[in-house]
């Protein structure tokens, strides 16, 4: 038996290097090399600069292995991306754009050429989410959903959001009393979890007291970047779907859980009509002229889940960076506290009208999103052959386009002293002088973030509730401004994925 184990591999090796098998192997390798590299002159032939294409990643090694934000800076400043440059994802050509007029053309003027985002297949459950819908189906669903984020609808969600914000302030005080420090990223994550669970699913998650609830546990899995999720994402990005579909899909069970939550809530409310005006109920209430519900059950499940996926980590990250900026600049924090106090006095409490009457807090949030945008870039796919305006550079349908957010937001030509935190950059008279695409944390044009108003509304209430009661201060370990960013993941995150701060009661 042992002798067979030793001789069998040698026999196989001798067969592989015999003329016919060896010829087949060489031909297959040559074909694979040609297939992979045949597009490597795509950008050079069009006169577009960019990093040198090479195997196996598509571009020269270097910043390709750094975080998204550092890589985008590399493309923006070192390879012509401040205007536009060309790169590759494996063998797929990608146009990286930093020119503001071109960003406006792609997202607004010539939107009909760039309606869709990149294909992501995944489980059937996710395919109906607004972010993955395409063409007419996207347009139809977007039109149905847009009214759910009107001012009147947000006002109806104010009390629920305020209750969760007050729970946040109590939790921060409790943590400070027990440990002498507050991990604010965790605290804000619990707040956004509870608030989205209540506003999107009609569920009382209560993660401040029970962080291991079934809802919180499954929601956390979505953002955990489990190795199987990363493998599936890479497979769908770089391989044909006929191959990628066989990769395990970690999200199937998670989607099934949220689908079950939504369907049970829908069934209960159809039997027992509710006066609740949360996101789920608003979607259930969308009716056509014959009184029939427009969105199917599966679409409502998908959009409610998207609300959680897109809103949980992005909003908690915004709040984390805002808290950091306030803690390291006490003068700005004092201005916010004074504005909150004045608005509460004018309107008789921290009601909807008071929240809407805090322009300086608006500017603080806007400046936080400028300096620390949740995502480094936006993505669009060219759906019709397109010639870049003012050039003879032609890109065919199917070309992926990256629109730089991080590079634009930190460009010294657009924002002097760009690493300085200055809310007055967003005074009305200052904003008017800037290009409309110089600030795009929520995207630009018809395909911008549909829940932008809710995210800003939610963040304002959380910060106002905290500033009403507490003063944030840095710890000895808090890094000086600007906050270093973590290299991992797709979203901006403080280095080390944690941010401990001090929170003391206001005098």
Q: What is the pLDDT of residues 51-66, one digit of tens each?
A: 888 776 667 655 555 6
pLDDT at 116 over 60: yes
Most confident range (mean pLDDT) of 77-81, 223-227, 326-330 is 326-330
Backbone angles phi, psi at 437, to 5 degrees: -100, 15
pLDDT at 40 over 90: no
What is the 3-class SS of 209-254, one letter each residue?
CCCCCHHHHHHHHHCCCCHHHHHHHHHHHHCCHHHHCCCCCCHHHH
pLDDT at 8 over 70: no
Look at residue 237 in the predicted model and tell me its pLDDT.
Answer: 63
Cα gap 474→327, rounded to integer Å: 6
Q: Do the beta carbons of residue 269 and residue 284 sit within 8 Å? A: yes
Count of CB atoms situated within 10 Å of the CB of 476: 5
Confidence of residue 10 (pLDDT cuts 50, 70, 90): low
Q: Do the beta carbons of residue 389 and residue 370 sit within 8 Å? A: no
Greater confidence, 384 or 63? 384
Cα gap 172→188, rounded to integer Å: 10
Look at residue 253 in the predicted model and tell me its pLDDT.
Answer: 76
Q: Lowest-pLDDT range, 86-90, 345-349, 423-427?
A: 86-90
Confidence of residue 444 (pLDDT cuts 50, 70, 90): very high
Domains along the chain with CATH numbers: 98-505 (1.10.630.10)
Look at residue 125 in the predicted model and tell me its pLDDT.
Answer: 64
Mean pLDDT of 164-173: 95
Alpha carbon 437 to its chain centroid, in Å, reads 18
pLDDT at 251 over 80: no
Mean pLDDT of 229-252: 66
Confidence of residue 255 (pLDDT cuts 50, 70, 90): confident
Mean pLDDT of 258-286: 83
Confidence of residue 171 (pLDDT cuts 50, 70, 90): very high
Average pLDDT, the chain: 86
Mean pLDDT of 281-299: 82
* Bind-site residues for heme: 449
Question: With pLDDT > 90 as the criterion, what percentage of the chain qualifies?
Answer: 51
* Bind-site residues: 449
Look at residue 311 in the predicted model and tell me its pLDDT.
Answer: 84
What distances in angstroms separate CA 12 from CA 9, 20, 22, 27, 28, one per listed residue? 5, 13, 12, 19, 19
Look at residue 199 in the predicted model and tell me its pLDDT.
Answer: 86
pLDDT at 419 over 60: yes
Q: Lowest-pLDDT range, 234-238, 255-259, 288-292?
A: 234-238
Mean pLDDT of 73-86: 93
Nearest to 113 by CA among 397, 369, 304, 365: 397
Mean pLDDT of 481-497: 84
Most confident range (mean pLDDT) of 4-18, 338-352, 470-484 is 338-352
Q: Global pTM? A: 0.89
pLDDT at 15 over 70: no
- Quote the crossing angle between the two packed helices 184-201 and 158-179, to the nearest 10°: 150
Look at residue 282 in the predicted model and tell me its pLDDT.
Answer: 85
Look at residue 233 in the predicted model and tell me its pLDDT.
Answer: 67
What is the 3-class SS of 284-305, one letter each residue?
HCCECCCCCECCCHHHHHHHHH
Alpha carbon 374 to its chain centroid, in Å, reads 6
In sequence order, which ranges of 402-444 are alpha helices (DSSP H)? 406-409, 428-431
Per-residue pLDDT tens over the stretch 181-224? 999 999 999 999 899 888 887 788 888 888 777 777 877 776 66
């Amino acid at each position: 038996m042992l002798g067979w184990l030793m001789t069998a591999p040698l026999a196989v090796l001798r067969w592989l290097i015999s003329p016919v098998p060896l010829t087949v192997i060489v031909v297959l390798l040559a074909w694979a090399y040609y297939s992979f590299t045949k597009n490597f002159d795509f950008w050079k032939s069009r006169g577009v600069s960019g990093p040198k294409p090479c195997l196996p990643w598509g571009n020269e090694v270097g910043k390709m292995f750094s975080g998204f934000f550092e890589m985008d800076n590399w493309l923006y400043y070192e390879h012509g991306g401040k205007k536009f440059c060309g790169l590759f994802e494996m063998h797929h050509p990608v146009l990286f754009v930093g020119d503001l007029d071109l960003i406006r053309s792609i997202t607004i003027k010539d939107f009909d050429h760039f309606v869709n985002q990149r294909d992501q297949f995944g489980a059937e459950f996710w395919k109906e989410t607004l972010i993955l819908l395409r063409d007419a189906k996207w347009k139809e669903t977007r039109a149905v959903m847009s009214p759910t984020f009107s001012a009147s609808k947000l006002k109806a969600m104010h009390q629920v959001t305020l209750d969760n914000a007050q729970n946040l302030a109590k939790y921060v005080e409790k943590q400070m009393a027990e440990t002498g420090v507050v991990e604010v990223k965790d605290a804000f994550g619990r707040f956004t979890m509870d608030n989205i669970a209540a506003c999107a699913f009609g569920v009382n998650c209560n993660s401040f007291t029970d962080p291991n609830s079934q809802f919180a546990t499954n929601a956390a899995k979505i953002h955990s970047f489990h190795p199987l999720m990363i493998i599936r994402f890479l497979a769908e990005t770089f391989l044909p779907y006929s191959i990628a579909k066989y990769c395990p899909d970690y999200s199937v069970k998670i989607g099934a859980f949220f689908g079950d939550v939504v369907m049970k809530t829908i069934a209960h409310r159809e039997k027992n009509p509710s006066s609740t005006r949360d996101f789920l109920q608003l979607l259930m209430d969308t009716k056509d002229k014959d009184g029939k519900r427009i969105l199917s059950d599966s679409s409502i499940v998908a959009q409610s889940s998207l609300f959680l996926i897109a809103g949980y980590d992005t909003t908690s990250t915004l709040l984390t960076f805002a808290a950091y900026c306030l803690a390291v600049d006490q003068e700005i924090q004092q201005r916010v506290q004074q504005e909150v106090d004045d608005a509460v006095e004018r309107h008789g409490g921290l009601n909807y009208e008071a929240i809407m009457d805090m322009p300086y807090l608006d500017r603080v949030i806007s400046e936080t999103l400028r300096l620390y945008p949740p995502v480094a870039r936006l993505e669009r796919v060219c759906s019709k052959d397109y010639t870049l305006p003012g050039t003879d550079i032609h890109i065919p349908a199917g070309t992926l386009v990256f629109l730089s957010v991080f590079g634009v937001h930190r460009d010294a030509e657009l924002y002097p002293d760009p690493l300085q935190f200055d809310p007055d950059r967003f005074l009305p008279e200052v904003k008017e002088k800037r290009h409309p695409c110089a600030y795009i944390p929520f995207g630009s044009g018809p395909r911008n973030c549909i829940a932008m108003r809710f995210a800003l509304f939610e963040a304002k209430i959380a910060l106002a509730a905290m500033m009403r009661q507490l003063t944030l201060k840095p710890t000895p370990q808090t890094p000086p401004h600007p906050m270093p960013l973590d290299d991992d993941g797709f979203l901006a995150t403080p280095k080390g994925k944690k941010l401990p701060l001090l929170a003391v009661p206001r005098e």
